[in-house]
Amino acid sequence: MRPLDPLGASGAPAPYDLNLLRTFLAVYRSGSFTAAAQLLGLSQPTVTTQIRSLERQTRRELFERLPRGVAPTAVADELAARVAAPLDALAEATGHGPRERSRTEPVHLAGPAELLSTRALPALAPLVTEGVRLRVSTGLTEPLLDELRAGRHDLVIATSRPRGRTLSAVPLTDEEFVLVAAPVWADRVARRPAAEGPAALHDIPLITYAEDLPIVRRYWRHVFGRRLNCRAAVSVPDLTAVLALVTAGAGYSVLPRYLCAGELASGALVLLDTPEDAPINTGFLVQRPGTSDNPHVALVRDRLLEAGRTW
């Protein structure tokens, strides 16, 4: 294969456009047309067109198109080795260096552990393969929002809309709450007279997220229209632990449907109630405006909002 010579076979300067080379280097380093477009402030079609133009000039394929991102060819490796240092020096000399370096900054994302682990992080996996770096924190909404205001996070998935106008919040997803137990308890409840209503659960252990029963109390008010008067048999501040206990037959609880969808589908858990109007909580994706020039923040935000429509 004829070696690629950016200066041309005759030694005279080849008419390569610097913009094409900058785009090439951004794609080469980020491994994705999408990520390169964000880094350069261009549209993805523009990046695609510029790479094709450079490939026509070199008469060589520079990138292998993959299902997720691109892989450089040997020709691209050679070209990058020749142009990277001069282009980096030019970027520094013209004051564009910091924007290029921002590509290496991780995106700081925070939110509820359960929603992050079962929904958000799997949705972001393709971005990770394209070079996006993540730093993830978990916790309760109010402390995380305070940390967001202080600049510790770029994005927070919140279980309620933040107060005030400091933060920008958009709806991300609705989570439905369901009353569940293992089949052994469901069978026992089913044998009780229907007139007993929620009282049929009073002698079954209640497994809950917090001692003050916030999720269960809300379900009782919304569905049964009455106050819940009982104490938890187990209180554990981790919904996955609540799910594990209920699935193991320890008792009943109220959980987000997304968290126990697999157990409901397999029969490991059973719905104890099927109200026409189940309680729903809206989650929000929150960002502090104007605080980050990292283009990967926009990539993560847009991917989460897109994925949230299917959750």
Instruction: Please tell me the predicted confidence (pLDDT) of residue 11.
Output: 46
Distance separating alpha carbons of residues 23 and 48, to the nearest angstrom: 9
- Positive or negative, the CA dihedral 45, 48, 52, 57 is positive
The model's pTM is 0.64
Print burial letters for 257-268: b (CB count within 10 Å at least 16), e (below 16): ebbbeebeeeeb
Instruction: Please tell me the predicted confidence (pLDDT) of residue 91.
Output: 77
Which amino acid is it at 175? E
Instruction: Please tell me the predicted confidence (pLDDT) of residue 9.
Output: 44
Print pLDDT tens along the chain (311 aa): 344 554 444 444 456 788 899 999 989 888 888 888 877 888 888 999 999 999 998 899 999 988 777 889 999 999 999 998 888 888 777 765 544 444 458 999 999 999 999 999 999 999 998 889 999 999 999 999 999 888 889 999 999 999 877 788 999 999 999 999 999 999 888 877 666 778 889 889 999 999 999 999 999 999 999 999 889 999 999 999 999 999 999 999 999 999 999 999 999 999 999 999 999 999 999 998 765 667 889 899 999 999 998 88
